[in-house]
Structure 1
């Protein structure tokens, strides 16, 4: 089914998603996957590699329509859906600023983006081309492009994968800074528990394939208090609640 398109939380109820392999074998990716993300909440889908997290995002983005079930996307502001993928996917013949502005509707393409570029530390790089950027900077540009549209929902598919930990940690904090300045409903896929605990209001814990919801972990600690010792305590609490997860 198509998204219902009414002002409501993100609602997902996927009864079944089955792939057929090159050898003709049926592979069940999702079965009985049901959850909600409240408006204005930052939630993480956490589960082992290959459990169906990215498949879920593809369905929500309308890139995969071969499934049984339904989903409902929230509306608000621009009613746009923005996505940040594992690769930045920037147009190589456009500058950073041009890549960001191309995501905007033509009527608001001249919108003031100075505050957004400032938050992400991209102001000096606006006229650079993707080939002149490090991977970390390219991912900042991808974040800028997503937030510039002021989306009703932001979907992130492991946006910090393959980065060194120092760069990834800086980008996580930048993501939280820009999200706090431009709050929107967000759902991020990750298999990194510490990352999920740093970023999320709630963590939706998935089983191995076919993905089902094992439960919800409410982080319950304000983000400014989530320093290293606090994260260690949260990790301990999480493993007590979900001893067999991740």
Structure 2
């Protein structure tokens, strides 16, 4: 399968984002952030709680247009953007396979998804309903739905949060395998530096609200060479450079 990512980078420039708080007071969520994610590469946003990470994703997804700045999304025809959220958001009255196929365009409803289900360990779960799945399996189904449309941009908002480390680790490995076989431009929000080090080509660190770029850490080591020793060494190096992120 050819890479699904567009021909250009994802380019994000948000100079200002203000929203009205529940108390009626304006809150400046983002002061000035600008970064790019190269085609078919994986970047991660990491920063303190409430610093504007999810707000940035909402702007990229077109769910919030009230900001000062500009975006350039990966270009592909047709342009397809897939999102994976903290909650799997599966329709409980449809099977796993039906939930995944709901995302497909009309001309792709008969697409063979056997390889994708197999890669995510869902071959035996295609006919099950969401209520029969563990949270880990439900999140695999959400990943399958995202990859099924062959997106030009994949956005993930803490897709492994609230899972135990063993389950989260298995899902990170599965995400790496599936994304490597179907590379597309990807941007993920996480609080987990270990997760970011394992998955990313680029880690973008944000400050506390209002968000600014604290620094950007590039990772050139191929994923196949990121063994336990490398990950621990890199984790220590990055944590020292950006104190307080662990």
Cα distance in 2, alignment partners of residues 198 and 245 from structure 1: 15
State the match for 1:142 in structure 2.
142
Distance (whole Å) between structure 2 residues aligned to residue 167 and residue 88 of structure 1 = 15
Question: 11-20 or 226-235, which moves further after superposition?
Answer: 226-235
> Number of aligned pairs?
241
Structure 1 pair 176/78, CA: closer, same or farther in 2 (3 Å)?
Answer: farther
Q: Is the 8 A contact 2:7 2:39 kept in 1?
A: no
Query: In 2, are the aligned partners of 1:20 and 1:26 still within 8 Å (CA)?
Result: yes
1:50-65 counterparts in 2 under 5 A? Answer: 50-65=50-65
Gaps of 5+ in 1: 1-5
**SS of 1:212 mapped into structure 2:** strand
| 1:80-95 alignment, distance < 5 Å | 80-95=80-95
Structure 1 consecutive aligned stretches of length 4 or more whose deviation exceeds 4 Å: none
Q: Secondary structure at the match of 1:58?
A: helix
Alignment gaps of 5+ in structure 2: 1-5
Shift of 1:245: 4.4
Q: Say whether the 8 Å CA contact 1:47–1:207 is kept in structure 2.
A: yes
Distance 1:142 1:117, change over 3 A: same
State the match for 1:79 in structure 2: 79
Q: Tell whether the 8 Å contact from 2:193 to 2:245 is kept in structure 1 after alignment.
A: no
Written as runs of structure 1 = structure 2, the 5 A alignment for 1:1-246 is: 7-76=7-76, 78-245=78-245
The superposition leaves residues 77-113 of structure 1 with CA deviations (integer Å, 9 ceiling, x where unpaired) of 6420000000000011110000111100011100010
1:77–1:151: 8 Å Cα contact kept in structure 2?
Answer: no
TM-score under structure 1 normalisation?
A: 0.95
Kept after mapping to 1: 8 A contact 2:47/2:208 = yes
3-state SS of 2:18 partner: strand
